[in-house]
């Protein structure tokens, strides 16, 4: 297959296993599910591929079946701000899809990923007809608001250990990312891209968190041992906020 094809041109029908990884499908009634499955498409994204770009019109509501994506935007000074990482099970862009407005952020694959897309017309049809789908989208919007508020707080933190801890906690959100489970498959370099620190500094922060008993570094990923401690790290002694 030509690598010159866009992600949209590489779209295909999802496999049964990929459909099982979509968290909102079980919430639909049989006729709603049949309609959704018939319109769902997936694309195999390579590292660096853009799923969404600032200013482009919304055509799909997207979700991560496998892999890891990054949501970010650049300010007027050209500085990139990362809003969120998108691990498996995460669906995003519902606010943009609801308003049918151009994207205000970029979504980029950090590694080889499988991305699912529900066409915008199917998205709105489900909103008009499915109570289960509406509840899922409302929960998404509520959790996303808290996520973005936390992202702004993380962005202002000077303490790298806190930045890494809070960013990890966000990736273990069971509502937004039900496909993660207990172990997050992520490399230290990928986490560094999301947090905005060097890989070496992320490694130091992970060793600190592991020594505290909050996480355990495993082959190919991270296991959270105390999610409450990870989430509450922002409330630790403010005097410790030094680079």
Instruction: Single out the residue of 33, 30, 53, 153 nearest to residue 102, CA to CA.
Output: 53
* Secondary structure in 3-state letters for 202-218: HHHHHHHHHHCCCEEEE
Both 95 and 176 in one domain: the answer is: no
Report the pLDDT averaged over residues 118-135: 96
Both 146 and 178 in one domain: the answer is: no
User: What's the whole-model pTM score?
Assistant: 0.78
- Report how far residue 67's alpha carbon sits from residue 221's, in angstroms, rounded to the nearest whole number: 12
Both 21 and 84 in one domain: the answer is: yes
Residue 56 is part of a domain; what is its CATH number? 2.60.120.10
Both 104 and 219 in one domain: the answer is: no
Query: What's residue 241's pLDDT?
Result: 40
pLDDT per position as a tens digit, 25-52: 999 999 999 999 999 999 999 999 999 9
Query: What's residue 123's pLDDT?
Result: 97
Decide: residue 172, CB within 10 A, 0-12 exposed, 13-18 middle, 19+ buried.
buried
Residues 58 and 103: beta-carbon distance below 8 Å: yes
Query: What's residue 238's pLDDT?
Result: 38
Does residue 33 lie in a domain region?
yes
Both 27 and 143 in one domain: the answer is: yes
What total number of domains does the chain contain? 2
pLDDT per position as a tens digit, 3-24: 566 777 788 999 999 999 999 9
Query: Among the listed ranges 8-17, 170-179, 205-214, which one has the minimum average pLDDT value?
Result: 170-179
Both 144 and 169 in one domain: the answer is: no
Both 125 and 196 in one domain: the answer is: no
Look at residues 119, 152, 185 and tell me which one is the last residue of a structural domain: 152
């Amino acid at each position: 297959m030509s690598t010159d094809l866009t992600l949209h041109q590489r779209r295909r029908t999802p496999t049964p296993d990929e459909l099982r990884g979509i968290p909102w499908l079980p919430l639909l009634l049989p006729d709603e599910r049949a309609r959704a499955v018939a319109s769902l498409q997936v694309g195999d994204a390579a590292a660096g591929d853009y799923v969404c770009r600032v200013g482009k019109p919304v055509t799909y509501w997207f979700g991560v079946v496998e892999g890891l994506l990054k949501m970010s935007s650049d300010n007027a000074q050209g500085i990139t701000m990362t809003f969120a990482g998108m691990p498996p099970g995460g669906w995003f862009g519902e606010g943009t899809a609801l308003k049918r407005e151009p994207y205000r952020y970029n979504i980029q694959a950090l590694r080889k990923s499988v991305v699912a897309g529900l066409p915008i017309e199917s998205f709105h049809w489900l909103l008009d007809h499915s109570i289960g789908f509406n509840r899922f989208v409302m929960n998404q919007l509520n959790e996303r608001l808290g996520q973005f508020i936390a992202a702004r707080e993380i962005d202002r933190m000077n303490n790298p250990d806190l930045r890494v801890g809070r960013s990890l906690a966000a990736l273990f959100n069971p509502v937004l990312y039900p496909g993660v489970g207990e172990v997050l498959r992520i490399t230290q370099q990928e986490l560094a891209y999301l947090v905005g620190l060097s890989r070496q500094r992320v490694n130091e922060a992970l060793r600190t968190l592991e020594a505290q008993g909050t996480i355990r570094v495993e082959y190919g990923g991270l296991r959270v041992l105390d999610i409450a401690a990870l989430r509450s790290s922002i409330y630790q002694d403010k005097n410790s906020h030094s680079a």
